[in-house]
Structure 1
Amino acid sequence: MAGDPPAPPVPVPAAAEEQFPRSTSLPKQSPLFWVAEKDRYLRQLLIRDIQAVTGRTLLVYFASMADQRAQISLGDEVYFTEMLRDAKGGPVDLLIETPGGYTDPTEKIASLLRTLAPDLRVVVPCRAKSNGTMLALVGSNVIMGPASELGPADPFISLGPNNIVPAHFLIGVQGVDPVFMQAAQHAIAQTMKLAETLLGTGMMKGKQPGEINSVVQALASRQQYPSHGSVIDADEAMRLGLSVTKLNSSDDLWQRLWLLRCMYEHDIRRAGAIKIFEGPTISNSLRAA
């Protein structure tokens, strides 16, 4: 009524201020900056939603599957170190999508994860191939769904600029430079050793050496999976002896994880990036040099 004092403003919780555009609060950032970064803010909004469901910090390592330059490579460990600051040493879910890459940086990232995220689960909504499968073995458990796949852990070897091939492609091929042949053999041996270490100290701890060795041979040789692109889905991963949580398509957590993964696939293409390292507050993306 006329003459009545104005109603006091409704207090907006601090959390709601971080939830724009869901709340009536405007973003704390300037309009132009928020609009330029809106894809990241919306992804991080969904990351926090998923964290509210799991009670664990969700971190994302997403690499383009369509660009050879998106391999796991030297320098990635710096961005992992930065990203892991979001976890503050607490329980972590690491969502990964990667075509794989080189073994040296994979080994370094595995060491970082073991040190900075001792309570780690790995989430593979779609693909963690080759040495990406090695990263999946770092956790105590792998969360997979209907579209998820691991693959044989075949490290990549660089034969020159824009010429990257799986190491097994070079073994036994006539005319291959002996230096490249030796590098391929060493990379395969290193990957097998890494797989054995990760399994023996992680999700297969306490198992007999023979059980662990059979999984290593399956993953890091061509004996069981002759193709570099062979699909190891959730059921196959469990048959191998890996610790897997299989989510079905109607599971609420799976639907949220799949939506987040689709956001990354769309946004990485639109941004012209090859890798994104992201958590609830920290974000870095890389573009090809």
Structure 2
Amino acid sequence: MIKTDDKFPRTTDLPSQSSLFWVEQKDRYLRQLLIRDVESLTKRRLVVYFANRFANAQIDAGDCAMMAELLGDIGTEPFDLLLETNGGGTDATEGLISLIKNMTTDFRVVVANAAKSNGTLLGLAARSIVLGATSELGPIEPLVQGIPCTILEEQKIADQNFPLHMYGKFALQQTRTLARTLLADGMMKGKPATEIDAVVAKLSSREAYFSHGSVIDHREANTLGLNVEYLEPEDEIWKRLWLLLCMYEHDCRRDRLLKVFEGRARSLSLSIATPPP
């Protein structure tokens, strides 16, 4: 039986902040309290990159500065990145990967809901990817003007629109080269190059996954050869990660937040622009 003082957020102490300030920021404080709870179980630092999919938030060039501020509180400690994103720009994703790798040699990507497209590409840079029953990865094939790059590679497109054809060709080459390098230096280190190339080909073409939004769950990711850590629905760490995700999703929709970058001591957010009256 749970005692009253054991329930989240388990204390009768008054906040150290002024009452008005605490009331205004209470949702952030509760999220950060839960971040500390997860850290106490994993013995690793936890940071969050949450992009509001209802606002079509994308990985972009401004994210590196925000992430650098967030990781500045961690130093070189091992950490987990709770990632929620539908994807975004490959250049920006490459920048995030470079930043993270320059700051630590040990990080995991945690996906409670979805890290699709370039979110999955970012996951390939990690030591491992932590997934649960609800978690989704996805194909990493880039899109140009909403068109899959494997289509833009075709000769018919080259005959009709050569610049667009070449744009798509090099975008696909960029993604595949980056994915191959990340896997060879990381979670598939020591595996034959042919095996790594096969994984990259599956993730970046329409031969295995017919839609850019195809679901790659923990079983499929493990079959591909990715280093996956699966948490059962009743796992104590997973239950806290899921509660944390629900908090971000609710708070972002209610407060019209585009993105949140958060750790136990630092918090940065971007608001959705309000159109003029």
TM over 0.5: yes
Paired letter, 1:228: H
Q: Secondary structure at the match of 2:53?
A: coil
| Stretch deviating more after TM superposition (227-236 or 180-189) | 180-189
Q: Does 1:74 align with 2:61?
A: yes
CA contact (8 A) 2:110 2:130 kept: yes
Compute the displacement of 1:250 (Å).
1.3
What SS class does the counterpart of residue 62 from structure 1 fall into? strand
Give the corresponding residue for 2:36: 48
Match of 2:176 in 1: 192
In the alignment, is residue 57 of structure 1 matched against residue 45 of structure 2? yes
**Shift of residue 24 of structure 1?**
3.1
Provide, for residues 239-258 of structure 1, a one-character-per-residue CA deviation record: whole Å limited to 9, x for no partner.
00000011111111111111
CA distance in 2, matches of 1:165, 1:156: 5
Give the residue type in structure 2 aligned to 1:227.
S
Query: For structure 2, which runs of at least 5 residues remain unmatched after alignment?
Result: 1-7
8 Å CA contact retained: 2:54, 2:253: no
Check 1:168–1:97 CA distance in 2 against 1; reply closer, same or farther (3 A cut): farther
Counterpart of 1:130 in structure 2 is: 117
Greater Cα shift, 167-176 or 54-63? 167-176
Question: What is the distance in 2 between the residues matched to 1:218 and 1:190?
Answer: 16
What is aligned with 1:10? none
Aligned to 1:229: 213
Cα distance in 2, alignment partners of residues 176 and 66 from structure 1: 35
1:287 aligns with 2:271: yes
Provide the residue aligned with 1:14 in structure 2. Answer: none
Identity of aligned residues (%): 51
Distance in 1 (CA, whole Å) between partners of 2:233 and 2:40 is: 20
Give structure 1 stretches of 5+ with no counterpart. Answer: 1-19
**How far apart are 1:110 and its partner, in Å?**
0.6
Which residue type is aligned with residue 96 of structure 1? L
Equivalent runs, 1:13-52 vs 2, <5 Å: 22-52=10-40
Q: 1:21 to 1:151 in 2, by over 3 A?
A: closer
Identify which of 192, 197, 213 aligns with 2:197: 213
**Offset of 1:177 from its aligned partner?**
4.9
TM-score (norm 2): 0.89
Aligned to 1:115: 102
Over 3 Å counting, the alpha-carbon distance change for 1:64 and 1:170 in structure 2 is farther
Query: Structure 1 pair 225/52, CA: closer, same or farther in 2 (3 Å)?
Result: same
> So what's the TM-score if we normalise by structure 1?
0.86
**2:147 & 2:245 partners in 1: Cα distance?**
26
- The separation in 1 between residues aligned to 2:153 and 2:59, in whole angstroms, is 22
Native 8 Å contact 1:150 1:231 kept in 2: yes
The question of whether the paired residues in 2 share the 8 Å contact of 1:86 and 1:280 is answered with: no
Tell me how many residue pairs correspond in the alignment: 264
Work out whether residues 128 and 227 of structure 2, in 8 Å CA contact, stay in contact via their aligned partners in 1: yes
Q: Residues 176 and 147 from structure 1, CA distance in 2 versus in 1: closer, same or farther, beyond 3 angstroms?
A: farther
Paired residue type of 1:38: K
Q: Whole-Å Cα distance in 2 between the matches of residues 118 and 112 of structure 1?
A: 11
1:245-256 map, 5 Å? 245-256=229-240
Please state how far the C-alpha of 1:165 moved relative to its aligned partner: 5.7
| Distance across 1 between alignment mates of 2:27 and 2:143 | 32
Change in Cα spacing, 1:46 to 1:189, as seen in structure 2 (3 Å) is same
Does structure 2 retain, via aligned residues, the 8 Å contact 1:113–1:138? no
Tell me the CA shift for residue 192 of structure 1: 0.6
CA deviation map 1:71-102 (0-9, x unaligned): 11111111111111222210101110100011
User: Secondary structure of the residue that 2:133 maps to in structure 1?
Assistant: coil
Larger Rg: 1
* Contact kept in structure 2, 1:155 and 1:166, CA below 8 Å: yes
* 1:145 aligned residue: 132
1:120 deviates by 0.5
CA contact (8 A) 1:102 1:156 kept: no
Paired residue for 1:242?
A: 226
What residue in structure 2 maps to residue 268 of structure 1? 252
Provide runs of 4+ in structure 1 moved above 3 Å: 164-181
C-alpha distance in 1 between matches for 2:272 and 2:81: 23
Letter in 2 for 1:184: G
Indicate whether 1:277 and 2:256 are aligned. no
